[in-house]
Amino acid sequence: MPVDPHLLRTFVTVVAEGSFSAAADRLGYTQPAVSQQIAALEADLGVPLLGRRPVRPTRAGERLLEHAGPLLLRLRAARADVARLSAEPRTLTLAAGPLALTAGTAAALAGVTTVRVAGAAAAVALVASGEADLALVDGPAAPSDPLSLPDAGPLTTVGVREEELVVVLPEGHPLAGRAGLRLDDLADAVWVDAAEVMPLDRLRAVARLDGLRPGIRYEGHDPAVAARLAAAGHGLTLLPASTAPCGVRVPLVAPRIVHRVELVHAALPPGPAAEVVRALTS
């Protein structure tokens, strides 16, 4: 018998809240209901999943958590995919990464009623679960390689654009006069930690290097602000050439990494969403 996702959902919420009582509040149950659901899940799997006081996942609980998120997402995606067949939508929602909307892609959005800003994984989840019709996700990648995205079922992914990346430095920086820069020469430098714009862990993964020491943390979505922070000497940053309006911009020459934008969507009937897909991919 499959693991009960109703119990999985409760489990995930308890871990997120760190408390049975708080999870009960969030899910609309009483605290004994949550206690009994967790006990039922532990009995079903035959192992403790949570330590108590404090409430924290055991190793088995951590292992289950790795599955729970993708599973619950895929279950929502299944419901959304079926619902999509009989929907007659009056809105067209695009989930877009902060660097995904350039002059070119923005010009192709006729018919879109709402643009939501979301990181790549969140944007894919929004499309999979039917809360967005399309996603434009962005990030660093080797040329022509696809972005690393979560699997959320039968979605279509199409590359829309790739763009040169530039390192943004302040005027007067010793490397400001270079014609090109290598990332491993910059591994020991301090970098602007703009997790919503250019996440450093993602960059380390694509570039296959360590380092890139995080400096000032910027929690917004505006690449121009990330560029200004770099230009002001708070650390380096790496941005698509077209989104870095100030500071000294030196092209990244090694490793071969570009800024890539991909369009993600479910199977679409003829209509405004399909028109936007056509406009973005021609």
Partner DNA sequence: GGTTGCCATAAGGGATGCTGATGCCCGTGG
Partner DNA sequence: CCACGGGCATCAGCATCCCTTATGGCAACC
- The runs of H, that is alpha helices, within the chain are 5-17, 20-27, 31-45, 59-86, 103-106, 120-128, 200-207, 223-231, 272-281
The interface partner of residue 20, options being DNA, a second copy, none and the CB cut-off 5 to 8 Å by kind, is: DNA
47 binds DNA (CB under 7 A): no
| Least gap, CB of 85 to a second copy (angstroms) | 5
Q: Interaction with DNA in 55-74: which residues (CB under 7 A)?
A: 55
31 binds DNA (CB under 7 A): yes
Of the residues 11, 15, 37, 141, which one makes contact with DNA according to CB under 7 A: 37
The interface partner of residue 68, options being DNA, a second copy, none and the CB cut-off 5 to 8 Å by kind, is: a second copy
28 binds DNA (CB under 7 A): yes
Phi, psi of 256 (to 5 degrees): -75, 95
Report the distance separating Cα 129 and Cα 82, nearest Å: 11
Structure tokens at 129: 């679960």
Q: How many residues bind DNA (CB under 7 A)?
A: 19
Stretch that binds DNA, among 13-21, 86-94, 127-135, 271-279 (CB under 7 A): 13-21
Q: Locate tokens 């989930």: which residue?
A: 95
Judged by the rule CB under 8 A, the positions of this chain that interact with a second copy are 1-6, 8-9, 45-47, 49, 59-60, 63-64, 66-68, 70-72, 74-79, 81-83, 85-86, 151, 153-154
20 binds DNA (CB under 7 A): yes
Handedness of CA 76, 87, 157, 123 (dihedral sign): negative
Three-state secondary-structure class, residue 261: strand
Burial category of 152 from C-beta neighbours within 10 Å (exposed 0-12, middle 13-18, buried 19 and up): buried
Of the residues 8, 12, 15, 38, which one makes contact with DNA according to CB under 7 A: 38
